[in-house]
Amino acid sequence: MIGLKDTDLKMCAGLPAKMEVVSPRTRIYTYDLDAGSPGISVSLPVGSINMSNKKNCTAIFRMEDGRVAELNYTGATTLVIRNDNGICEPLIASCLSRMAERR
């Protein structure tokens, strides 16, 4: 993902949920993802039980001179299977495919 152009990032990941201008050369883009199912909630006379596997992930891109310079994740970023991108993978999957096609 490092080096990906700003316009290419927006084409494959969509528009960021938030954007912060840090300096004329630096911007921070934030992408959010809610993954999993909402689960169930059961009300009991003594309280309630909420069973959910819903997780969220935020991908934070630091852009320098119109290109990805750094990528970090916050939230539920771990996933036992598949890859280093955890549950954030759907956020960047099409970007990774796009980059692989261009090689």
What does the pLDDT look like over 8-29, one tens digit per residue? 999 999 999 999 999 999 999 9
| pLDDT at residue 73 greater than cutoff 60 | yes
Task: List, for residues 29-60, the tens digit of each pLDDT value.
Answer: 999 887 654 555 555 666 655 555 556 788 89
User: Which pLDDT value is given to residue 7?
Assistant: 94
Q: For residue range 63-72, what is the model confidence (pLDDT) as tens digits?
A: 999 999 999 8
DSSP string covering 9-71, please?
HHHHH-S-SEEEE-SSSEEEEEEEEEES---EEEEETTEEEEE---EEEEEEEEEETTEEEEE
